[in-house]
Structures are given as C-alpha cells and as structure tokens.
C-alpha cells in the first residue's frame, strides 16, 4: 500500500467512527428505506438522518433512488455489509 491508500483507508474508518452512522448503515442492511423510516426506527429527527445520509453518500457507502417525491437509500454494495458484519464478529468474540 502507498501513503495515499493509507490516507483513504483512514478516512473510510472515520466515517464508520460515529454510532449514528453505524446505526443508519445497520438499518439498511436488510432493505432500502426512506429518511422517514430510518428516523422512526432510530428515534431521531429526519434532518439529522438526512445530514448523516449525505455524508454516507458522499463517501460512497450508500446510494439512493427516487420514487416520486420519496428518496430511498440502500447500501452501495456488499463491501459495506461485509465491513459491518466483520466488525460485529470481531467485537462479539
């Protein structure tokens, strides 16, 4: 690995460094959801969820699709699922 890759990896782990973002990603493990559903599930405001989803999208961890006025979010790919699953396995050992 080169220095740039180490820096990118460190940035990726920073994104996983907040419980709220992890909760959002975990909420999206099984299916796509809209901001309202995530906010309700996590008992948080829609604006707080939207802000964190924006960060997750900018960092290529989630994607979205529009259906009418509603935007649905899901994990970008299986790598995000794998990172979370392996992290959980590690802390549960």
Per-residue pLDDT band at 1 (split at 50, 70, 90): confident
Residue 7: pLDDT above 90?
Answer: yes
Percentage of residues in the chain having pLDDT higher than 70: 100
pTM score, whole prediction: 0.92
Average pLDDT, the chain: 95
The string of DSSP codes covering 23-80 is HHHHHTSSS-EEHHHHHHHHT--HHHHHHHHHHHHHTTSEEEEEETTEEEEEESSHHH
Task: Note the pLDDT of residue 51.
Answer: 97
Residue 58: pLDDT above 90?
Answer: yes
| CATH classification of the domain holding 65 | 1.10.10.10
- Determine the structural domain holding residue 78 and report its residue range: 3-92
Give the count of domains, the chain.
Answer: 1
């Amino acid at each position: 690995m080169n220095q740039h890759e180490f820096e990118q990896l460190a940035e990726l782990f920073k994104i996983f460094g907040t419980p709220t973002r992890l909760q959002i990603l975990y909420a999206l493990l099984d299916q796509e959801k809209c901001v309202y559903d995530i906010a309700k599930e996590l008992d948080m405001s829609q604006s707080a969820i939207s802000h964190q989803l924006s960060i997750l999208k900018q960092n290529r961890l989630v994607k979205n699709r529009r259906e009418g006025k509603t935007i649905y979010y899901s994990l970008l790919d299986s790598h995000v699922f794998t990172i979370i699953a392996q992290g959980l396995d590690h802390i549960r050992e």
